[in-house]
């Protein structure tokens, strides 16, 4: 089934693109969620009328992603956690912890955009990719240090 995307979906494409998806995915998810419309003469006419607005929005998204990437480039986020024997963490560092650290540093990044393959369970420094929009990915440095007792 061919559809026109009404918003950018990472796994499918950009807003305004015509893509082919399985019938059930379009009928049961994309169309009811108003993320896409069926390809027909009316929809194609509307797409052509909105083409400039869509291109302007995508250009703005690209500019915003560039700004966020520049802000994240030199950031080192320090996260303190309790440790036990052999410097093993109690619990782990998750994308929520990293998002909270970024927010303390003045950047609001959704935890869903932090690409963490698995939770961090040891002390050290890590490079973590962050989706910043318009299919751009920035890398931030995370330092996991032990929590000092008695401060």
pLDDT attached to residue 151 = 47
Task: Note whether 96 and 35 are same-domain residues.
Answer: no
Task: Note whether 48 and 97 are same-domain residues.
Answer: no
Query: Which residues of the chain fall below pLDDT 70?
Result: 134, 149-151
HEC profile of the chain = CEEEECCCECCCECCCCEEECCHHHHHHHHCCCCCEEECCHHHHHHHHHHHHHHHHHHHHHHHHHHHHHHHHHCCEEEEEECECHHHEEEEEECHHHHHHHHHHCCCCCCHHHECCCCCEEECEEEEEEEEEECCEEEEEEEEEEECCCCC
Task: Note whether 112 and 85 are same-domain residues.
Answer: yes
Task: Note whether 142 and 100 are same-domain residues.
Answer: yes
pLDDT attached to residue 67 = 84
Give the range of the structural domain holding residue 21, as residue numbers without chain letter. 2-63
Average pLDDT, the chain: 87
CATH number for 106: 3.10.430.100
- For the entire predicted model, the pTM comes to 0.69
pLDDT digits (tens, 9 = 90+) for 99-118: 998 888 888 888 888 888 88
pLDDT attached to residue 40 = 92
* Domain stops at, among 44, 63, 82: 63
């Amino acid at each position: 089934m061919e559809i026109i995307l009404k918003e950018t979906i990472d796994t499918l494409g950009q807003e305004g693109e015509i893509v082919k998806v399985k019938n059930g995915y379009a009928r049961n998810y994309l169309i009811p969620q108003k993320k896409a419309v069926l390809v027909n003469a009316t929809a194609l006419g509307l797409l052509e009328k909105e083409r400039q607005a869509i291109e302007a929005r995508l250009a703005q998204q690209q500019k915003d992603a560039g700004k966020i990437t520049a802000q994240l480039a030199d950031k080192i986020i320090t996260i303190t956690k309790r440790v036990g024997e052999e410097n093993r963490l109690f619990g782990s560092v998750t994308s929520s912890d990293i998002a909270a650290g970024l927010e303390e540093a003045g950047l609001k990044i959704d935890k869903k955009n932090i690409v963490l393959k698995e939770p961090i369970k040891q002390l050290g420094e890590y490079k973590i990719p962050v989706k910043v929009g318009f299919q751009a990915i920035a890398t931030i440095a995370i330092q996991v240090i032990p929590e000092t007792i008695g401060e």
